[in-house]
Amino acid sequence: MDKVLDIVDISEGASFSDELLTEHLAPLGQRALKHIGLLTAGLTDAGVGVRATWYTQGGHVRNSDWSPSGVQRVRYLCEHSEFTEAETVAVIGWLGAASSFRGKVEIRTDSGETIRASTDEELTGQLDRFFNKRVEAEVEVTTVQFSSGRERKIYSILGLQNVSQ
């Protein structure tokens, strides 16, 4: 539910780019995007938004307001951006940056390329074991073709292990 509310909140930000919104939509997968597209189509056709309150197990309350324009923004991205089927690849390099707050890492490959990827909650809690070490990452790669024609790759770490130098 937090991921859906993140999408709602990002779609409401006037200063946020559609790329950031797409970056949050892409890891959900094609099936989820189809469902979100159908939801937003119904809301857009009715000209309404949504107000959601989510109570977490820890007792925290999260409120999100989704305006008709925010709904339309997500609908447009779901209908006009093409997401490829995710492929899984192995990436070997140095884990040079890790944010346990944001669930993001950077891996510099042997060829000098920097891969910026997200991690799930479980792996995020273990990032300190891998920081500044040589790692092999199992990475899910999704390519997004934006309506403008620009292409972007979205990386998500599925697994991480230390490797010898």
Assign domain 87-162 to its CATH superfamily: Nucleic acid-binding proteins (2.40.50.140)
Angle at 36 between CA 119 and CA 138, to 5 degrees: 20
Q: How far is CA 2 from CA 56, 141, 154, 158, in A?
A: 9, 22, 19, 19
Q: Name which of 135, 79, 84 is nearest 105 in CA terms.
A: 135
Read off the pLDDT of residues 59-115 as tens digits, 9 standing for 90 and up.
Answer: 889 999 999 999 999 999 888 888 788 899 999 999 988 887 778 899 999 899 999
* Percentage of the chain exceeding pLDDT 70: 96
pLDDT confidence of 144, banded at 50, 70, 90? confident
Structural domain boundaries in the chain: 2-80, 87-162
Pairing type for strands 151-162 and 114-119 reads parallel
Q: Which has more pLDDT, 87 or 126?
A: 87
Q: For the whole model, what pTM was predicted? A: 0.66
- The predicted model gives 2-25 an average pLDDT of 81
C-alpha 96/C-alpha 81 separation (Å) is 31
Burial (Cβ within 10 Å: 0-12, 13-18, ≥19) of residue 68? middle
Q: Which has more pLDDT, 17 or 111?
A: 111
Beta-carbon contacts of residue 152 (< 8 Å; ≥ 6 apart): 19, 22, 23, 143, 144, 146
